Structure 1
Amino acid sequence: MGTPSPKYTAEFKQKAVELYRKSGTTYAEVARGLGCDPGSLSDWVKKAAADAAPDGNPFQMAEDLRRLKRENERLRRENEILLKASAFFASRQL
């Protein structure tokens, strides 16, 4: 089996994109210096250009969105459990 690909933080991705834009060199040279894959760096640069968010870091927004989706799902499950418990206890009082 292969090794899992590393997970880079939103801050790392943003700094890598900034470094690439300032350096004026190739993806490969910047990626080699950062220790990441040139293809990943290329994807990050394209995503940053496409998502030119007014508040800054599009990678942070993506992380926040994933976190909020997970939290939303957890809250839905908790609500479902509470509704079932409420119905159970209501039926026992009758």
Structure 2
Amino acid sequence: MLENERRRDPRYALHYPVIICSSRAIDRPEGWHYGEILDAGKNGMRLRVDDFGTLPVGSELQMVCQPARNRQPNNNCMPVPIKGRVVWKNAAGNQ
């Protein structure tokens, strides 16, 4: 669990690789980008995504996560599809 947590439900550090795209660009290969799930909990997650461009708060997202071990993909696990929505962003940290 993360220190200094203020949320009702805890977040856990994961560092899982993720492929992410805006729902409006799901059918275009250039719409998909690599990123990392930094932490996640029952009601949300924090991502780092490089070169995603402008993605307004409220944007619907499609993601595919590959569970990891020691920050490397764990090929013994099936990829997990995830749907989400941007609720805040930190452009300086690509989060």
Q: Same fold (TM over 0.5)?
A: no
Q: Which has the higher contact order (CA 8 A, sep 6+)?
A: 2
Which interval holds the TM-score relative to the shorter structure?
under 0.3
Higher strand share: 2
Greater Rg over alpha carbons, structure = 1
Higher helix share: 1
Using the size of structure 2 for normalisation, the TM-score is 0.22
